[in-house]
Amino acid sequence: MPQLNPRLPRLDALRATWMLWMAAFHFCFDLAWFRVTTWNFYADPLWIGQRVAILSGFLFWAGLALGVSRQREPAAFWRRWMQVAGAALLVSVGSWLAFPKSYISFGVLHAFAVLLPLAQFGLARLPSPALLLLAAAAVALPHAVQHPVFDSRLTNWAGLVTHKPVTEDYVPLLPWAAPLLVGLVAAQSTSLRGWLAGSAPAPLVRLGQWPLTFYLLHQPVLIGLLTLWQRTMAA
């Protein structure tokens, strides 16, 4: 997950908390994938709700971080953006090799790669009422407008699909722009920004400074450990 803020310890700690939650969620998903459990991540509201909360949190923290750091040099922003975009491409290629029929063409990193420049160079300059109106529209539009033209991999990034595509991760701009927009609104609160600059547990602060690295590495590590465990048990 992208990290774009100047050092705000409590924001780093909050992000790290979500990173650990994400890792725990994916570990449970992997247990089901390895058939250790029978949890249904595609139909059970418990797991679906957690995915929504985790994604919403990361997008909110990104909007908040971007909102409080929008004065940073464009060169620094684009360096970080290139890392995010490169990671998104890596995820697409890796998932295509692992899941050729359900590879990730527009997942969470792809959404970040599109939303962050839009926010940095346009949306972050809007007043709170306009941002909240856009957030409400982002949530409402996918329910009000669906068309088959948006069902292909070339167009489903918009989110106006008639059915969810077969893919291992799908985070279209609509409705997922909404939490980031709300984060931009929160960034306009001087009191919140002051609170985020306060102290937080050092391990969480350090972990929260490496969201993209953590995101890319945690699943290979978890899957590797489960594979090793499975082979050890079968020996």
Tens of each residue's pLDDT in the chain, 235 residues = 554 445 799 999 999 999 999 999 999 999 999 999 999 998 999 999 999 999 999 999 999 999 987 656 788 889 999 999 999 999 999 999 988 999 999 999 999 999 999 999 999 999 999 999 999 999 999 999 999 999 999 999 999 999 999 999 999 999 999 999 999 999 999 999 899 999 999 999 999 999 999 999 999 999 999 999 988 888 7
The answer to whether 145 and 160 are in contact (CB under 8 A) is yes
Residues 6+ apart with CB under 8 A from 19: 1, 207, 208, 211, 214, 215, 218
Q: What's the confidence (pLDDT) of residue 27?
A: 97
Residue 191: the pLDDT is 93
User: Which of 46, 45, 163, 179 is closest to 111 using CA atoms?
Assistant: 179
Residue with tokens 């490496």: 210
Please give the pLDDT value at position 233.
85
Q: What is the pLDDT of residue 165?
A: 94
Pair of tokens at residue 136: 């409400």
Predicted pLDDT of residue 71: 57
Find the length of the chain.
Answer: 235
Task: Give the sign of the dihedral formed by CA 37, CA 104, CA 13, CA 45.
Answer: negative
Can you give the pTM of this predicted structure? 0.91
Separation of alpha carbons 227 and 221, rounded Å: 10
* Predicted pLDDT at 5: 44
